[in-house]
Chains A and B, each alone.
Chain A
Amino acid sequence: MSNKTEIWQGTLALMILKTLDTLGPLHGYGIARRIEQISGDRLSLNYGTLYPSLLKLEQEGWIVSEWGVSENNRKAKYYKLTRAGRKQLAKEAKEWNQTTAIVARFLAPAEDQS
């Protein structure tokens, strides 16, 4: 149970970082919508779980937050990637790619293995 959450949280964190890297500073709601859009609505995200993840990233220093004004003139808290966060993203993305590649080879049809 806790294992699953951890993996999910790790993945969610990676998605958040990538989103901020792509779109620049963004508020929580925007991040949530973006993740759903990118996943092609195949990922049903409980928006409430996003905030503890954001807080964790902030505590670890990957992102910083600041109050600003949204496109609809709403007051909103914007999250921005730090330089350390960008490095962390590159590192995590690389690790993720490696892991998925390994897992993918395991799951590939048997005759591909020599």
Chain B
Amino acid sequence: MRQLRAWLLRFKGLFLKDAREREFADELESHLQMHIDDNISAGMSPQEAKRVAVMKLGGVDQAKEAYRDRATIPFVESVVRDLRFTLRQFRKNPAFTITATAMVALGLAASVAIFAFVDAALIKPLPYQNPSRLLFVTERTPDIPRAALSYPDYLDWKKLNRVFDSMEVYNQRGYVVSTSAGMEMVDGARVSAGFFRTLGVGPLLGRDFYTGEDLPEAPRTLILSYASWQKRFGGKQEIIGQPITLDETPYFIIGVLPQNFHFAPVENAEFWATLNPGGGCFTRRSCHSLNGVARLKDSVSIEAALADVTRIAKDLEAQYPDSNRNQGATVTPLSEIIVGDVKPILLLLLGGAGLLLLIACINVASLLLVRSETRRRELAVRRALGATRARLIRQFVIEGLVIVVVGSIAGLVSSHWAMKILKGLIPTDMMAGMPYLNDLGLNSRVLMFALAVAGFAAVLFSVTPAFRLSTLDLREGMAEGARGSAGKVWTRIGSKLVILELTTAMVLLVGAGLLGKSFYRLLQVSAGFETKHLITMRVGAPLSAYGEDAQAVALGRKVVEEVKRLPGVKSVALATTLPLSFNGNTAWIRFVGRAYNGEHNEVNERPVSSDYFLTLQAKLLRGRTFTDSEDATKPKVVVINQTLAKKYFPGEDPIGQRIGNTKLSSESIKEIIGIVDDIREGPLDSELWPAVYEPLNQFPHSDFSVVVRTAQAEQSLIPAVSDAIHGIDSRITISSQTTMTERVNNAATVYLRRSATWLVAGFAAVALLLGVVGLYGVIAYSVSQRTREIGVRIALGAQRGTVYRLILKEASALALAGIVIGIVCAIIAASLMRKILFGTPPWDITTLLCVAGVLGASALLASFLPARRAASVDPITALRAE
């Protein structure tokens, strides 16, 4: 206790220096006076009296020194002195200070901002209980790695499995609600009753679904998302138990989910209702509409779970060969389903930011080296005056720490803004699929990471010059203008650092180049139709008014007719599923007149209206497309895509052939009347699947997408199109109004690639700049060291050209080493990111050559300036300067 009190007082003593010194001077003064008085009364002369008094005291300054050491903490005080000295030095050299701290800030800001994203997406646990035990469980087919479950299959899996504590299902769907703004389509999900219990999430308000509440006869209930509760019901507690009408059906609100709950697979679902499986799809084993979520039993591995569900799928396949042929099973950690898409991209970006940080740190380290070089004399003098090596090293450590601390604070502030800006750049649609990014920020993990980065930089910055100190020869340092081995030692270390910098820059540049090329290749992929000047939107009509086929057909015709009338509209078409959305919504087909052994010929099934191909400007290869009059009263027809023709009719003319379902039941038989060039149904980087396009009028739907081809400026026509459709019936809901161009640009594959490309390109540009500046520094320093040598050479008759060559040779050796090592590292790095590349091999020769060229040219430019200075050395000045 007493010790602590003394330390605190001594710490306080660090600050009240002047008053204390003055008081002690007074005390000593009075001490000496009393002693002198005594000495004089003892008979000494005044001079003698004073001499003896001071001697007895042991010297005034010594006494003051000893007193000061006790009044403060000597170590801290000398550190403070070193710190003051450092700050004075830095103030005198603002260019160095700003450059060094800015580089640290840049490196730290980039890596911390990216790390925050990595943390939010990959490190922070999902908001479920024990999320690592949750699995995404579905069927699989030879073509679809994760295919939805059918309801009867789900019931069997749930009953027969031995590896799950519980297994639940969900699917995404929109609900029509009546709001003050009219009918609105709201995102929602349907889940089996134990869904939230399996996730381990309890409601914030109200209750969870009871077991059995998801059965057909149970009353309809729903749970609200927190956002929906706030937005639609003003966060009122009384909402629990209130009725609400969704899709013309009454529901009761029974609960509200917690604020931090999110479930990315259903994006921003507001209403969570129970499954209540009625007829239709839920009764058929072949109708796959559900995704499974299961909690693994303790001590059961994922492999064991996979084996178990595979066994069940096999049994079901044997039992129901018609519907379950080739329907396997798959399990995936739920976290991978949620963050799987962004994981490789984020890791790539983290790698890029890390390299940028590395290059920035190396640059600062070499700046510090240059500085320690120019301070050789100062250091030698301080050594000679008795400063210990430890003391000098401490000086370097303090200098390094000052740079790191100032740079890190600036970096942290910038990273906060960088995060905000990066998050703001994510389109809302994308953000809906990445709810885990919502609480992105400088949390404790991110701060720990920043601290680790700063620590790494601090060690690097204090070790580099301290290491340099060990090569310092005292006598040589003192000698005026000595240009001895120390300079060479530095040049050796410095040039190694530059090679490392250039290598890093090369890796980043190649990475950016490959990503850019992949992105370009992706955009070059033909969608199979003209994407410009297309409006798309989703239309839903109430089943009570449009549930009959004839009503739906009439509605479709009316929509086309009304929209077509608008000025600027060239043509209008309807489709159940828009192109460039996904491969899926498939049918199993079978060919009339061919042997059939029960295999599932899975094809995309797309009911579309008669002007669909005309509106998309898809190319009809053979035959004809259907007409508007081909409805239920006419024979069934179908248009196939080229992939289907190639796969199932090699060397045959498909036109006139007939296809049907697996049983070839009479109502399923359709005649092939045309072949269109492939329209990409899935994302741009997905495979082409066989597809059949059927007349919408023969397969009527009361909800469909509208595709409008405009003359130009499609964006401005969206409101008019919406109004025209609303004009038909105010109960119609319209959602997802957008343009095809935007759909292309905001598609996950395109968006993720584009943002990764831009970010990595940004990192690479900065890395190139830093690398080239580093090279410039080394060459410029080398020239300044060799001024005398060059002077002598010129005096002895060397041509300017020779001097240029001398310097450029040195520079190009470094650049070449950097480029060659860089190419090797880049190919290795690119192989690691092969998953993200598209249509571009990791060793893509053009990219490598271009990048090498860019780096080489920049390196030449950077070394040209010092070379010119060298060539223009005046031999007389150079020799005299020494």
Contact = CB atoms under 8 A, between A and B. Distances in A.
A52 B34 contact: no
A60 interface: yes
B37 A72 contact: yes
B1 to A, nearest CB: 9
A42 interface: no
Given A55-B67, A74-B34, A60 B2 contact: yes
B30 A51 contact: no
Interface string A16-35: 00000000000111100100
Nearest to A44: B56
A70 interface: yes
Given A47-B57, A61-B2, A29 B67 contact: no
Prevailing SS type, chain B contact patch: helix
B515 to A, nearest CB: 64
Contacts of A64: none
Contacts of B26: 75, 77
A33 to B, nearest CB: 8
A39 interface: no
A59 B10 contact: yes
B16 to A, nearest CB: 13
Nearest to B6: A59
Nearest to A58: B9
A39 to B, nearest CB: 15
B92 interface: no
A46 interface: yes
Interface string B17-40: 000000110111011011101100
Given A27-B34, A47-B56, A77-B30, A52 B66 contact: yes
B670 to A, nearest CB: 99
A53 B784 CA distance: 56
B63 interface: yes
Contact of B6 (A48, A56, A72, A74): A56
Contacts of A74: 30, 33-34, 37
Contacts of A33: 38
Contact of A76 (B5, B24, B30): B30
A48 B57 contact: yes
Contacts of A48: 57-59, 62-63, 66
A27 B6 CA distance: 21
A76 B2 contact: no
Contacts of A97: none
Nearest to B9: A59
Contacts of A27: 30-31, 34
Specify which of A29, A70, A74 lies most central, judged by the most chain B CB atoms within 10 Å of its CB.
A29
Given A46-B58, A61-B2, A61-B5, A55 B71 contact: yes
A48 B27 CA distance: 11
Interface string B44-83: 0000000000001111001100110111000000000000
B5 A29 contact: no
B67 A51 contact: yes
A74 B23 CA distance: 15
Tier of interface size on chain A: 20 to 34
A29 B27 CA distance: 10
A98 interface: no
Contacts of A60: 2-3, 5-6
A37 interface: no
A55 B30 contact: no
A52 B70 contact: yes
A11 interface: no
A99 interface: no
A49 interface: yes
Contact of A28 (B2, B31, B70): B31
Nearest to A70: B34
A10 to B, nearest CB: 14
A51 B27 contact: yes
Contacts of B38: 33
Contacts of A72: 34, 37
Contacts of B37: 72, 74
A56 B5 CA distance: 11
B75 to A, nearest CB: 15
Nearest to B37: A72
Given A47-B57, A51-B24, A56 B31 contact: no
Given A56-B6, A59-B9, A49 B58 contact: yes
Contact of A49 (B9, B34, B66): B66
Contacts of A77: 23, 26-27, 30
A109 to B, nearest CB: 39
Contacts of B35: 29, 47
Interface of B: 2-3, 5-6, 9-10, 23-24, 26-28, 30-31, 33-35, 37-38, 56-59, 62-63, 66-67, 69-71
Given A47-B57, A51-B66, A56-B70, 6 more contacts: A28-B31, A29-B31, A46-B57, A60-B2, A72-B34, A74-B33
30 contacts: A27-B34, A28-B27, A29-B31, A29-B35, A33-B38, A46-B57, A46-B58, A47-B35, A48-B58, A48-B63, A48-B66, A51-B66, A51-B67, A52-B67, A52-B70, A55-B71, A56-B6, A59-B10, A60-B3, A60-B5, A61-B5, A70-B34, A72-B34, A74-B30, A74-B33, A74-B34, A75-B26, A75-B30, A77-B23, A77-B30
Which are the 6 A-B pairs with shortest beta-carbon distances?
A48-B63, A48-B58, A52-B70, A59-B6, A46-B58, A59-B9
